[in-house]
């Protein structure tokens, strides 16, 4: 398991969101890792084993996910910007997604 993991649940379908492209970037926009959610809507390998303290972004390609299902979507992507602090062992970024809304929090 990498330092950053993610999980996407499609609230409108009531199931995990499979095949969602997920990107981890640093504060300057440099891409550190790219992955796609598995059948359980999870990404367990997103980037390195550790990150320096600072600001990072996990971007979820929500628009492409819904377009593949023929569903209109308000958000072409969902950017989750967060701060990595020294001494932390892991960051989990869950996303509860629907075509017109989303919510996120720091998971465990």
Cite the annotated binding site for substrate by residue number: 7, 42, 105
DSSP letter, residue 64: H
DSSP lists the bridge partners of residue 25 as 31, 57
Closest CA to 12 of 58, 69, 57: 69
Could you list the residues known to form a binding site, using ranges.
7, 42, 105
In whole angstroms, give the CA distance from residue 28 to residue 32.
11
């Amino acid at each position: 398991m990498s330092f950053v993991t993610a999980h996407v649940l499609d609230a409108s379908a009531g199931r995990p969101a499979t095949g969602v492209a997920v990107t981890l970037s640093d504060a300057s926009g440099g891409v550190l890792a790219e992955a796609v959610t598995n059948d359980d809507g999870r990404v367990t390998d997103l980037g390195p084993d550790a990150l320096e303290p600072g600001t990072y972004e996990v971007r979820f390609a929500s628009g492409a996910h819904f377009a593949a299902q023929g569903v209109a979507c308000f958000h072409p992507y969902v950017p989750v910007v967060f701060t990595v602090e020294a001494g932390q062992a892991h960051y989990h970024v869950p996303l509860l997604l629907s075509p017109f809304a989303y919510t996120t929090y720091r998971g465990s």
